[in-house]
Each structure stands twice: as C-alpha cells, then as structure tokens.
Amino acid sequence: MRGSCPSTKDPELTRRLTERRTDGRVERLLVIRIEDLNWNCHQHITPRYSEAELGEALAPIRERMVELEEQNEALRALLKEE
C-alpha cells in the first residue's frame, strides 16, 4: 500500500478505524506492514524467568535470610537479659 491512501484500498478497514471514539477527527491513516520481528532480542531485553527458576536461584538467599533472622532474635534476647 505504499503511496496510496488506505481508504481507497480497503474501505472496511477505513470505516473501522474512523468510527467515532473521541471528539477528535481522523486526519491520517497509516497501514504498516511488519516484515520481521525478533521478540527475544537478548542484547536489549532482560531475560524473563519462570517462578520455578527464580525459586531455585533464590533458595540460598532465603536460607541465609532465615539464618540472619534467627541470629537477630538471639541477639535481641541477649539484649533484653542485660
């Protein structure tokens, strides 16, 4: 559709896109044809992990937190005795 108005090529699409949704008016319609898409570009997108993968990776940190909380409780108990 390069160089042509979508309304002349696809009147139904034009009708759907120009149905009133706001007080504004449509000034221009563009049709963009995507030829390629790389959804998982590792260079620019942070990898996503499943809950199971995160659980496994965070297990040592959770264990350490439990240890530290127990140490804090013991220290608080000692401070109360003094």
Q: What pLDDT does 7 receive?
A: 57
* Verdict on whether the full-model pTM lies above 0.75: no
Assigned domain for 38 exists: yes
Q: What pLDDT does 64 receive?
A: 98
State the total domains in the chain.
Answer: 1
Q: What gap in Å lies between CA 50 and CA 53, rounded to an integer?
A: 5
Q: What gap in Å lies between CA 34 and CA 68, rounded to an integer?
A: 53
Assigned domain for 69 exists: yes
Assigned domain for 67 exists: yes
For 68, the domain range is: 6-81
Q: What pLDDT does 76 receive?
A: 95
Q: What pLDDT does 73 receive?
A: 96
pLDDT in tens, 4-30: 555 567 888 878 877 777 777 777 778
Assigned domain for 32 exists: yes
Assigned domain for 1 exists: no
pLDDT in tens, 34-72: 888 777 666 777 778 899 999 999 999 999 999 999 999
